[in-house]
Structure formats: structure tokens, C-alpha cells
Amino acid sequence: MKFSIVIHGAPWSSNASHSALRYAEAVLECGHEIVRLFFYQDGASNGSSLCVPPQDEINIPEQWQVLINKHGIDAVVCAASALKRGILDEAEADRYEKNAHNLLPGFAVSGLGQLIDAAGQSDRVVSFVQ
């Protein structure tokens, strides 16, 4: 079955992101396909390369990155959500003349149309809202 997963929660503000991460792992372990991960609203913060949790806590953005790169998953952060939360890739940092960029490799910045596109290709869209 084809799944798309929508992550609405920031990494540690609620269980939404961690639950979505574990769900995504389970989807793949069960032999299903992930069409796209869509990080929306506070979920865009999962794309930050600058999170430094205590050593005895899971680094949720890093775990997302590992999963995305290991399986070559299409992962999109909503552009409007990401920009206003200070999650920028190099191109956006240049465009808005910011002095740094912090989007984890493997994530792409794009629009809400990518969610609708993913939903069109998926049997199930599963949302993790805080």
C-alpha cells in the first residue's frame, strides 16, 4: 500500500513527530511504500540541522534524516511553514539575505501543492497532529 505521512508537530513539543517517525519505520518494515513525507506547520522544525538534544535523548530531526536517506524517501518541508520558523535551505538563505542555512540534507523545500500531489498518489494519507 502507498502511504503519505503529514507531520504537523515540532520535534519535542508533542509526540506527533516521534510517533510519525516510528510509524514511518513500521510502514516500511511491513513492506509498504512511502510516497512522500510532508512536514507542515510546526512540523517544519524537524528539518533543522541545528537541534542538539541531551545525549540521552533521541535526536528526532537526525533520525528523520537517517530514515529519509536510507530509503531515499521524498521529504518535503512546507516553504511558508519553514521560512517563518527559520528553517532555510541555501537557496532561501541567499534569496532572503540571511547569514546561515540549516535545512538537513535529504529534505526539500516546496509548497502545499506537494501535499495534494502526494495525496493523489497515495492509498492513505496519515496525519500526525499534536
Partner 1 sequence: MSQSKSPRSYLIIARSSPYGSQQARAALDIALAAAAFEQAVSIVFMDAGVLQLLKNQQADAAGIKNISKVITALELYEVNSIMVHQEAVDKYDLDPSQFVLAVDVVTSEDIKTLIAGADQVMVL
Interacting residue ranges for partner 1, rule: CB under 8 A: 6, 8, 40-42, 111-117, 119-122, 125, 127, 129
Q: Which is nearer to partner 1, 48 or 81 (CB)?
A: 81
Which residue(s) pair with 127 in the sheet?
6
Q: How far is the CB of 124 from partner 1 (least distance, A)?
A: 8
Q: Cβ 5 to partner 1, closest distance in Å?
A: 12
What grid cell was written down for 120? 493523489
* Stated length of the chain: 130
Least separation in angstroms between residue 6's CB and partner 1 is 8
* Bridge partner residues of 109 (DSSP): 77
In sequence order, which residues have a C-beta less than 8 Å from that of residue 9 and are 6 or more positions away? 15, 16, 17, 20, 42, 43, 128, 129, 130
Which is the catalytic residue, given 78, 79, 103, 115? 78
Is 30 part of the annotated catalytic residue set? no
